[in-house]
A and B are shown apart, each in its own frame.
Chain A
Amino acid sequence: MQIDLSELVGNDGVVLAGMERGAAARNLFVMDKLDGGTEAVVVSAPDSLEAISPSFVQGFLAGSLKHLGEDGLRSKYRFELNELLMEDIADGIKRLLMKRKIAGLD
């Protein structure tokens, strides 16, 4: 299975941003269904993409993380992205895994 982010950014978009946009992308690629399947999913992006904001990653992956857990997410989704975009994905996941004591949620 393949998720091609160029469906969102086009061939010349440079950034993906926004929690709502991440959640909309999740619906577009029917990721809730993909999470339930057994096949691995490859996520790719066009060469023009330079950054993915943490809010987008959170909207995009929160559901999968909840469903699969951190290890499950990392084994299910293979991100074929450049070094900086991989850092962006890692930053977003880090924020999802963050303890939330100030907010009283942990």
Chain B
Amino acid sequence: MTEEERRNHFPGSWKLHSEDIRVVRKIRLDASRLRRRITQKPIGQIVRPAGKTDKGRRRQQLNRNARRIHAKKLARNYIRRARGPRQLTHEQASVEFKYRHSNLLEHMVSNREAKYSESPLKRAQKGHVSVELKDLSFTHNPRQTMNKLGELADRECDSFGINIDFHDDYCLDVGPYLLLSVMKKQMTPLFLGGEISKPMSKVLNALELDQEMGIAVPLTEDRHEDVFPFPVHRRRMSGTSSSETRFIDQQSHEKVAANLNEAIDEWLRVTTDQRLNPRGRRIVLRLVTETLDNAERHGDMQRNENDGDWIVAGFMARRDNDDHEYYRCHLAFLSTGTTIEETIATAPEPIATKMQEYAHRHRGSVGSRQQSPKHLRTVFAMQDGVTRSATASEEKRNGTGFQDILEFYSDLAGSDAAMSDASMAIVSGTTCVLCNSAYMHGVRMSGEDSERELWFNDTNDQSSPPAAGNVIELDRCLKGTLITMTFTLDLDYLERTVDRAN
């Protein structure tokens, strides 16, 4: 790439958001007004009685001083409360390097606390480092993608400042950026800036992921042209549900699903003058609610069972390929807290024994010998009827969530998965399961009343091991579950399944 081409492709650098600075200034102003109100107004109303003794005047002075100190304290608390968690500048953070515990990062970087505690002088010697984020896609390149994000977490422990260069020409998968936004919030603010391409700027801004990450990206005149966003939606923090009618009230995942339907309708109206028909809308509603309901129930099992949090975002992009226009869709769901393998490890009998048998039979077939049982347990957890709930198991219900998600996703991606380059990645712990081409969804192997099975092998049989290309070991652990999907919208399929707007 020549220098001129490079300048054109990377129109500018992303920077730290200036929003925080404005907020702090406003709070300071409010606080000083509050301080004035408390200290001056009441004192102004006091009329000194005639002939007051020295002792009385001293007492009045003391009262005034006490009131001032009290006002100062109140104002200080007011500022602290309004500010929320303290936002450090790069310089302050570099000096302090105070260790911040993060469950997510702790599992991504081994011995994070020890690495963090090394001498700040070593950090200073290391200086500023650059991390290049390129080919970020869990659906097509899971191992390297996770390693890149892991490298970023490593640098947080040992560097003085970090430049992140977003070098992808297009956003290949929204999942890594969703994860990055959650990671960045939990890291020390050591980020300085970096290069970013035009299309990546457009996507991050349209999805409001730039705000999530606290960065300002350069935007050109065309802003969000060719990008149709479904901006970040998130559930409140896990463990904060207090309503007694929690499950009677409308659920946040139901609202998100309805919003996504509206967004897709808008995308289709603008691009093809079409809209989803009732059957298409139903697929989207069921896909989103099943996925997010799973995330809520299992997301943070150890601390807040049935009350996990999640974050979701997606977009459709119009792209050209040799005069052929096509639409690429991306959608990702992330919940942090518990991995699939950890969740299913608590399954009751006889599910636990069956799972153990499967893991034992194929040990070493995928990934390393040490991690292999975890990958196999994750595959087993995806089969119909497998649930961790003792009650559900006893009543023979549920345990169909994953296969439902895969079935609805296949419906959404269209008839020919290979043609639409559809791929879904389920990343959890050190396991990444890729559902694509032949292994898109489960199949009922023994008649209509049997379970849907997906064993990721040619015969779709649990007596054979899963394909190593579909069950992949990651070098870093994601303490949670990310489900990210991508597919090309099949316009012929769309013609068959959607209604004309007019």
Using a CB–CB cutoff of 8 Å, the interface residues on chain A facing chain B are 8-10, 13-21, 23-25, 28, 50-51, 53-55, 58-59, 62-63, 66, 84, 88, 94-106
Contacts and interface: CB of A to CB of B under 8 A. Distances in A.
- Could you say which of A63, A98, A99 has the most chain B C-beta atoms within 10 Å of its C-beta? A98
B350 A18 contact: no
Given A55-B398, A102-B383, A23 B250 contact: no
Interface of B: 246-248, 250-251, 253-254, 257-258, 261, 278-279, 281-282, 285-286, 289-290, 293, 296-297, 306, 350-351, 353-354, 383-387, 392-393, 395-401, 404, 446, 448-451, 453, 462
B247 A18 contact: yes
Given A54-B400, A95-B400, A103-B385, A21 B247 contact: yes
A103 B286 contact: no
A54 B400 CA distance: 8
A100 B385 contact: yes
A66 B392 CA distance: 12
B386 A102 contact: yes
A101 B451 contact: yes
22 contacts: A17-B257, A17-B286, A17-B290, A18-B247, A18-B251, A19-B392, A21-B251, A50-B281, A53-B285, A53-B404, A54-B290, A55-B404, A58-B400, A66-B395, A88-B282, A95-B397, A95-B400, A101-B450, A102-B384, A102-B453, A104-B353, A105-B396
B250 to A, nearest CB: 6
Given A18-B251, A24-B247, A55 B290 contact: yes
- Among all A-B residue pairs, the 7 with the closest Cβ atoms: A17-B289, A24-B247, A104-B350, A100-B385, A103-B385, A51-B285, A62-B397
Contacts of B251: 17-18, 21
A99 B450 contact: yes
Given A14-B254, A28-B248, A55 B401 contact: yes
B424 to A, nearest CB: 18
Contacts of A19: 293, 297, 392, 397-398
A59 B293 CA distance: 13
Contacts of B397: 19, 58-59, 62, 95-96
Contact of A9 (B250, B290, B293): B250
A105 B400 CA distance: 14
